[in-house]
Structure 1
Amino acid sequence: MLPSTSNYLLKNGRVPASLLQMKSIAPPASTVTTTGTDSNFCLVDVEIAAGTIAQITTADTEHLFPIADIPIVDLCGGLILPCFVDMHAHLDKGHIWDRSPNPDGTFASAIETVRADAQKNWNAGDVYRRMEFGLKCSYARGTKAIRTHIDATGEQGTASLGVFEALQAEWGARVILQAVSLVSLDYFLTPAGEKLADRMAQVGGILGGVAYMNPDLDKQLDRVFALAAERNLNLDFHSDENGDPESTTLREIAKTAIRHKFSGQIICGHCCSLAVQPPDLVTETLELVKEANIGIVSLPMCNLYLQDRHTGRTPRWRGVTLLHELKAAGIPVAVASDNCRDPFYGFGDHDVLEVFNMAVRIAHLDMPYGDWLHTVTQTPAQLMGLPNSGKIAVGLPADLILFKARNFSELLSRNQGDRTVLRQGEKIDTTLPDYRELDDLLGI
């Protein structure tokens, strides 16, 4: 039980060494292994004062304050993580499954089903309530920052970006929100595309779109890079979300970035086809991506659901990109939630711990676990330009998640519904919103 005071001590908590910004504290030598068992955790005491991390010391060492003067909460070896960072979501699409399910689970049907639902139902009130529902879930689960892609074509885009602005203002003290435009890249060859770039600059957003192989891809990329550079915008692409080895938009994006000498941050999401391409092409692509300073975000749950789906046939591959190879090449990699309860992914609850849990299983992010927790904390925070998020350090806000689990096995074997979420040192209400809140929208 946390005290009501703003100054207290979290005692005997385990923090991943890679997320603890203190070189003076290291895990015991006996816990540093190369196996998939628990390694690189530091047993620490953390002082919280006025919403900030005031002091971190190795457990049971002498403190700089009289321990008797403040309440002590003994975590008994439970894990302490920084709040999560979810850098690729689609909040505007979320929670429409009950009124618009995907009829066959395929990518093509997902596109058509969402398009039909949007034309029929996506007024500002509908989008607002579904996006807010997703934010309520994310906040309760311990997410501090979200980058959401917004379908941004025409009048629908205008309405949805207006909703985003309203929610960004209302939720700013709880969840940092970033918006990315989502259109096909040919849209930027039109006057409407240029207006969209101006709008994204106005909302402080990121210019983005879906890259696909077509004869005009070079022209489309040149245009979107020019629009971004003129407005000092970062870029975020949907790239190669398929199992076609001939789909090489990631490579083309990297080449364009190098040609333009683009200095902003570039993110490419999905990059699924990289996993089915020949080794020489993979090597060349990774070299270009590294040179272009591109970050990669994998969406393991949605891509597992959509990729290689054929009626009556068992899928032959997992749909995720080459996370291990990308990381080994020095390319920053993150994983994120993507879609939630919509035709692109019929499940999910905006829980980044579930995303990490699934990513570990799908992409073998164990043996050893190493610093793979960075993919949902420190790395996406850095890629989103949030230097005070995704890590634990003295002087940073006490935005933390406390678990009874003491190691990776315990953390990833249950859903951790009893986690405690701290925002500026105070325990928040982690009650999830009731699905019934949306019944009138969904016709239930």
Structure 2
Amino acid sequence: MLIKNAKLLDGRIVNIKVEGERISCIGDCRGDEVIDAENKLVIPPYFNMHFHLDSAFTSVMNISGTLWEGIRVWQEIRGKLTEDEVYRNAITAVKLMVAYGTLWIRTHVDVTEKSLKLLRAIKKVKEDMKDVAEIQITAFPQDGIYTDKGNDEILRKAIEEGADNVGLIPHNEITREDGVKSIKFAFELAREYNKDVDGHIDETDDPNSRFLEVLAKETINNSWEGRVTAGHVTAMHSWDPAYRFRILPTVSRAGITVVPNPLINAVLQGRLEGYPKRRGNAPIKEMMKFNVNVALGHDCIMDPWYPLGSGNMLQVLFVAIHMDQLTGAEELLNSINLITFNSAKAWRVKNYGIKEGNDANLLITNADDVIDLLRFMEPPKFVIKKGKIIAKDGKYVLFNGKWEEVKRKP
């Protein structure tokens, strides 16, 4: 395959030759099977660093709009879902994300549904979609590890049955002491089974929720630097500036990646107050000033926490830019890293990016540059995974060797 007239992120117009699964040449290359990029932007594919495939398309209304009602509603419906329903909904969500250019998806699966049927369904999705997307499963104790007897052991069982990462939710434990204990237990499991830690951390407006500091300390104590992700951390927008100034260098030292989820937290946070309302987003610019790695997650599609969602990571980035005012010229251009290179660092993906010898994972877009990519948020013309076209025009995905039209709902 030869992709000619491709515009790279640095502005160069080049030809890109793909042989097998690898990029073999960038520059004045020659080849037979030609795709003309027409001087449009060609970039590496996107990551979705935080998602819930098990709840996708459950479409139950949250009247108060709060995180806590969403959890209660989910507790009511999860036991009624069948594995087939969860599988069908999740497959639809993955195909949507792939059509919009996402090839890496980290999903949390609720393992406090003690039958582990949700985990079984998503494990099957991971296997069946492996040719079009890389999926990691985080064993997520939605109700907390110490809120109900046996949750700690079911978390262990989920890891033994094939989950990729150890999850936690310390702010949902009954006491701060239990929250701290849950973090320590997560690291015990991570070390025992050689897994990364991927937690929901401080997803609240409460300025007294400060579990990120405990997570950072345990990361350093366990020498787990670069292997820990903190999702949401919305309490950070309510922390005193002096406290953020003190703790963020430690978060950076621990190599923790913080994953804001701007679509969902923009509507969940600030529900218990009048005006002005807090933004509901961990402060991206401030974290980057302290060299904290920041990546973004889509979080939800049409579930008890969020009634919308299309699977488009450009939409996630668009909202993050507005919420954190990343509208300076350099800020806009560099913001693409929040769904590409920063995520690749957190995932520890090798051979990522458009370089000779790297895996041929590419998006051929309709945009002249990053600004137009963000303005219009269009799906790529072509999604290429390891040298093979797997999606076109946001409408078609290659699945099980056949092209099929992407459904917007199951």
TM > 0.5: yes
Matches within 5 A, 1:26-425: 41-57=11-27, 63=28, 67=30, 70-97=32-59, 100-119=60-79, 121-156=80-115, 158-183=116-141, 184-187=143-146, 191-212=150-171, 214-262=176-224, 265-310=227-272, 313=274, 316-367=277-328, 368=330, 369-389=332-352, 391-417=353-379, 419-425=381-387
Q: Deviation at 1:129? A: 0.9
Instruction: Give the CA deviation at 1:342.
Output: 1.0
* Cα 1:429–1:322 shift into 2, 3 Å: closer
Q: CA RMSD in A?
A: 2.3
Residues 99 and 379, structure 2, Cα contact 8 Å, conserved in 1: no
Change (3 A) 1:393 1:418: closer
Distance, in Å, in 2 between the alignment partners of 1:188 and 1:412 is 42
C-alpha change, 1:72 and 1:234, in structure 2 (3 Å) is closer
Deviations 1:344-396 (A, max 9, x none): 1111111112212222222222312242212111221221222234x211122
SS of residue matched to 1:150 = strand
**1:194 CA displacement:** 3.1
How far 1:188 sits from its partner (Å)?
9.2
8 A contact 1:232–1:264 mirrored in 2: no
Contact 1:332/1:379, CA 8 A, preserved across alignment: yes
Quote the Cα distance in structure 2 between the aligned partners of 1:261 and 1:268: 16
Residue 314 and residue 260 in structure 1: after superposition, are their counterparts in 2 closer, same or farther (change >3 A)? same
1:179 Cα offset (Å): 0.5
Larger radius of gyration: 1
Distance 2:126 2:146 in 1: 25
Looking at structure 2, the residues matched to 333 and 283 of structure 1 have their Cα atoms a distance apart, in angstroms, of 17
TM norm structure 2: 0.89
d(CA) in 2 for partners of 1:52 and 1:187?
47
C-alpha spacing 1:399/1:262, structure 2 compared with 1 (3 Å)? closer
For 2:408 and 2:226, the matched residues in 1 are separated by 39
Q: Which consecutive unaligned segments of at least 5 residues does structure 1 have?
A: 1-6, 18-40, 58-62, 439-444
Q: Structure 1 length as normaliser, TM-score? A: 0.82
The residue aligned with 2:4 is: 11
Off by >4 Å, runs of 4+ in structure 1:
188-192
Shift, 1:310, TM fit: 4.6
Question: What SS is found at the alignment partner of 2:377?
Answer: coil
Partner of 1:337, secondary structure, is: coil
Query: How far apart are the structure 2 equivalents of 1:242 and 1:193?
Result: 23
| 1:93 alignment partner, SS class | coil
- The residue type equivalent to 2:98 in the other structure is Y
The whole-number CA distance in structure 2 between the counterparts of 1:262 and 1:188 is 26
- Deviation, 1:260, is 3.7
